[in-house]
Structure 1
Amino acid sequence: MPQLNPNPWFTILIFTWAVFLTILPNKVTSHKMPNELLTKDPSNLLTEIWYWPWH
């Protein structure tokens, strides 16, 4: 039963996780967001209650 022999698949598992934990986070964090967040003026925020006639 080859599934019980941990030598081949355990090595592949360790190398795969090593790649996931070392290379991929650097690639993901190097991307820039396409839209920068804008701060809103607090005086323009909607503070009134909505009127819902069907409720």
Structure 2
Amino acid sequence: MSQLNPSPWFFVMLMSWLTFSLIIQPKLLSLIHTNPPSNKTSTTTKTTPWTWPWT
């Protein structure tokens, strides 16, 4: 049963992780964000309690 033999599948998994870690990930991390977050002050809204008609 070939699916129980880890030899070919381990090599495929190892190569894919190495490709991702060494080639794809640095390229993705070097991209410049088009919409950088800005330091905005948070506004607080005043809430009033709801008056329930049955109380």
TM-score by length of 1: 0.61
Q: Aligned residue pairs: how many? A: 50
Letter of the structure 2 residue corresponding to residue 29 of structure 1: L
Aligned equivalent of 1:35: 35
Measured after TM superposition, the shift of residue 46 of structure 1 is 3.4
Ranges in structure 1 where 5+ consecutive residues have no aligned partner: none
Deviates more, 1:11-20 or 1:31-40: 31-40
Deviates more, 1:8-17 or 1:30-39: 30-39
Ranges in structure 2 where 5+ consecutive residues have no aligned partner: 51-55
Aligned equivalent of 2:12: 12
Secondary structure at the aligned position of 1:23 is classed as helix
Measured after TM superposition, the shift of residue 48 of structure 1 is 5.4
Deviates more, 1:8-17 or 1:19-28: 19-28
Percent same amino acid among aligned pairs? 32
